[in-house]
Amino acid sequence: MKEEGESSPLCFCLISVIRSATVVSVPTTPVRGQMNDRGMKGYLAVVLVVSFFVGWATLVLEELVYMLLPHGPHFAPELGRFGAFIAFSMIFSVWYIPTFLVVAVPTTYLLKRKLAFVPVWLAAFIGAILFALACSLVCSFYIESSPSNVRFCSMLWLISGASCLGTAQLLLRKPPPATSSEVGRHP
């Protein structure tokens, strides 16, 4: 039995870590001249890869949540819930790749070069609208798509686009990490 003032070793470790932590402020605007052009292109590629996977993971997570919601007894009887999740996730993943290449890559480049002042929430809103429009355009060419399917897919793409371009703008607003040759240099 513990006494009144005694705490567990885990609490002691957490408190000591919190007390010893230092706060580092990161500027929210890009720092000019911090990296050469080759390093900035590499950082932009990393931003694109991270935003791609964030958007794709959001899309798959949305599909998973939809599949876990209660449905009637005739929901995907041929495949079952798990099979329907796998099938639709593969279809949505195949659709997501060209949508990302056509919408997110030019928009990320535009946000980096011309619209660096745009706040993160506005970049997420722009991404949401562009991804939803791209999904509606793709669904309009599909012969058997009903308006409810188009709305559902556009809603999925809307959230995925918001997370994708919001992440890209968030990463672009932070300065890229310094390379080993720039450590110790003062501007």
pLDDT per residue as tens digits for the range 13-67: 444 434 444 333 344 444 444 555 556 677 888 889 999 999 999 999 998 888 8
- At 4, list the tokens: 């009144």
Residue 62 CB contacts under 8 Å (≥ 6 apart), including other chains? 156, 159, 160
Domain presence at residue 15: no
157-176, pLDDT tens digit by residue? 999 999 999 999 888 876 65
Determine the structural domain holding residue 95 and report its residue range.
38-173
- The CA-CA-CA angle for residues 69, 133, 111, to 5°, reads 110
Domain presence at residue 26: no
Domain presence at residue 14: no
The count of structural domains within the chain is 1
Domain presence at residue 110: yes
- Burial, 38: exposed, middle or buried (Cβ in 10 Å; 0-12, 13-18, 19+)? exposed
Q: Is the pLDDT of residue 135 over 60?
A: yes
Domain presence at residue 186: no
pLDDT over 70 for what percent of the chain?
A: 70
Cα 90 off chain centre by: 18
CB contact at 8 A, 157 and 131 = yes
Write down the pLDDT at residue 56. Answer: 93
Domain presence at residue 181: no
